[in-house]
Structure 1
Amino acid sequence: LLNAVPLFILLITLQCSRAVSPTGCDDAEPVARKALDLINKGRWDGYLFELLQVADAHLDKSESTAVYYLVLHVKESDCPVLSRKHWDDCEPAVSTRPSDIVIGQCKVIATTCLDGSQDLRVNGFNCTTSSASSVLANTKDSPVLIDFFEDTEPYRKEANQTLEKYKRENSDFASFRVDKVERVARVRGGERTNYYVDFSVRNCSSRWRSPTFGFCRADFINDAEASDLENPE
């Protein structure tokens, strides 16, 4: 759940003061794309949102500004927000790692100026997402079972273990700590059970004027009978 401002309070305030009318979803798409790009650029964890469609759009227009109330259907890409890419530039990774299918909805309030500058400001947004991968990835006769865990916090130990191993080999990262476990996937098949863990990190050193963030991926390859995860790659 992502909250930039108290969205519904702002929505009620603006709607009480002005008349809001429906507008075409196709007409609102350029504004929606710009707004979602700004939302991506303002985030420090997670993955880039990709716009699937504008599901609903309302407009409050005055002489100088236009305020859009948008409901967007989105999909998470495989690129972390820290890549600072646009979602159109996020190419699918060539990897044996399973790709999580995460879809969701963003409610957005955005204001654009009508003075010719086309400046856009995101007043507030609220996004909710959910993984559909576990349902879609496994079929009745599949020799491989793939699980994506929405509750990733139980795998913080594995993320910490991976980061500590990396810090022993790279002293420049000594002050980094695990910030959030982003995605966890388990692949079971044959004689192996593999875990794939994505997590974000933060530099906690007081020598830095502002926090520095990073993104890590770890692969754990285990025998089917292994009870814990000891060897990240």
Structure 2
Amino acid sequence: MKHYMLLSLLLALWCVPGAPVAQGGMNEGSCEDASAMAAAGLALSEINLDRTEGYVFALHRLSNVHTAQHGENGMVFYLTLDVEETNCSVHSKKDWKACQTRPPSTPVYGQCKTAIYISKVHRVVRLYKYNCIVRPVPAARVIRMCPDCMFLTSTDNPKVQEIVALSLEKFNREGGFSKPFTLLNVNRASNSAWFSRWDFRVEYTIQETTCLGTGPCPLLGCGFSRKGFCQAHLSSRDTDTSVDCEIYEPECSERETKGRVRSLPAMGQMVILPCRMSQPRIDVRVTLSLKQDPQIPGQVEPSILPFPKVVSANCFPAPAGETLVENLFFEDPMFKKWWAIWTC
């Protein structure tokens, strides 16, 4: 059903008007064009569905567009998307439009570069590659804006680990499932402190095990094990940890993902990466059209070109804004020089 919902958005696409040739047969597109915006929404939905860890991304703005015609009816879009993290786990498979972005005090923001092929006539949407970089808001900016607001903290914090253990034990005891769940990953933690008061919120993912009693608990096999996303809370005013978990039905997929998401430290913190600065992974090689298109009879797949190194003349830099996220996109040097991405 979700796939059909995505395909229905193709109705918003129309032919892209003529534009200057950028490189190797690409055309510069407009970030205000309705077809490019529709392609950006489809691309982000496909990226979120492809990912196996983290949170659903929502579209903040489209910041670069290039296109390449394929056949009479197809188009490859090379897009740069400014994104924000939402409160939905990728395991939920929810569409990004149904998710809320993070509160202004704890946003995670970044950019995704993606190549996506769309044929409206054949009702085909095919994500080829993507590369995302995200980073959290600097804690100092949050404290300056709102001293008693929640701000991100290390998931290795002993209090965070304690809250995870207590809340998961509580869920397994009271959740009503015959088999217990075990911790997969602590996704994020935030806290606030004001004089003698403190407040912690922790989010983590869990997976069902084979246990029927005590002892070591192996995970259930692929396709049989449910996963969950939990939110736990404990403050200095509470006597017990609260926990709320969403449980998702088993899903088995051994496919190779089409891209990656890299998390960097907040702006202003040192980034130490033992590699050189180069183009994103999607730039490394051209995917040649040497095989039959799996969805369109009599047509080969499109060639995926190296990602463009220039910003389209019809797309403009992120302006300064009223919200913290808008100002971070405006100030962050990582996204001003959006083509310079660290890759290993």
* Superposition TM-score tier, normalisation by shorter sequence: 0.7 to 0.9
Matched letter for residue 139 of structure 1: R
**Alpha-carbon deviation of 1:218?**
0.5
In structure 2, the partner of 1:137 is: 142
Match of 1:222 among 214, 223, 236: 236
In structure 2, the partner of 1:152 is: 155
Distance 1:122 1:211 in 2: 27
**Alpha-carbon deviation of 1:79?**
2.6
In structure 1, the partner of 2:169 is: 164
Distance 2:229 2:178 in 1: 12
Distance 2:60 2:104 in 1: 21
Distance 1:60 1:204 in 2: 48
RMSD of aligned Cα (Å): 2.9
Whether contact under 8 Å (1:112, 1:119) holds in the other structure is: yes
**Alpha-carbon deviation of 1:171?**
5.0
- With over 3 angstroms needed to count, the CA separation of the structure-2 counterparts of 1:156 and 1:117, relative to structure 1, is farther
SS, match of residue 34 in structure 1:
helix
Distance 1:193 1:183 in 2: 17
Whether contact under 8 Å (1:145, 1:189) holds in the other structure is: no
In structure 2, the partner of 1:102 is: 108
Distance 2:65 2:104 in 1: 34
In structure 2, the partner of 1:213 is: 227
**Alpha-carbon deviation of 1:165?**
2.2
Does residue 1:176 correspond to 2:185, yes or no? Answer: no
In structure 2, the partner of 1:58 is: 66
- With over 3 angstroms needed to count, the CA separation of the structure-2 counterparts of 1:42 and 1:230, relative to structure 1, is farther
In structure 2, the partner of 1:21 is: 27
1:79-102 per-position Cα deviation (integer Å, ceiling 9, x unaligned): 333343333223579xxx986211
1:151-206 per-position Cα deviation (integer Å, ceiling 9, x unaligned): 42444453233212211223516332111211211111143111100111122433
- With over 3 angstroms needed to count, the CA separation of the structure-2 counterparts of 1:207 and 1:38, relative to structure 1, is closer
SS, match of residue 48 in structure 2:
helix
SS, match of residue 26 in structure 1:
coil
Rg larger in 1 or in 2?
Answer: 2
In structure 2, the partner of 1:90 is: 99
Whether contact under 8 Å (2:105, 2:149) holds in the other structure is: no
Match of 2:45 among 37, 49, 57: 37
1:200-232 per-position Cα deviation (integer Å, ceiling 9, x unaligned): 112243366344221000001127xxxxx9942
Distance 2:38 2:86 in 1: 20
Distance 2:92 2:105 in 1: 17
In structure 1, the partner of 2:124 is: 119
Distance 2:134 2:178 in 1: 31
- Whose strand proportion is higher, 1 or 2? 1
Normalising by the residue count of structure 2, what TM-score does the alignment of the two structures yield?
Answer: 0.53
Matched letter for residue 175 of structure 2: N
- With over 3 angstroms needed to count, the CA separation of the structure-2 counterparts of 1:230 and 1:117, relative to structure 1, is farther
SS, match of residue 177 in structure 2:
helix
- Whose helix proportion is higher, 1 or 2? 1
Distance 2:27 2:57 in 1: 27
- With over 3 angstroms needed to count, the CA separation of the structure-2 counterparts of 1:126 and 1:145, relative to structure 1, is same
Q: Where do 5+ consecutive residues of structure 1 fail to align? A: 1-17, 224-228
Does residue 1:46 correspond to 2:54, yes or no? Answer: yes
Match of 2:84 among 75, 94, 114: 75
SS, match of residue 25 in structure 1:
coil
Distance 1:67 1:129 in 2: 25
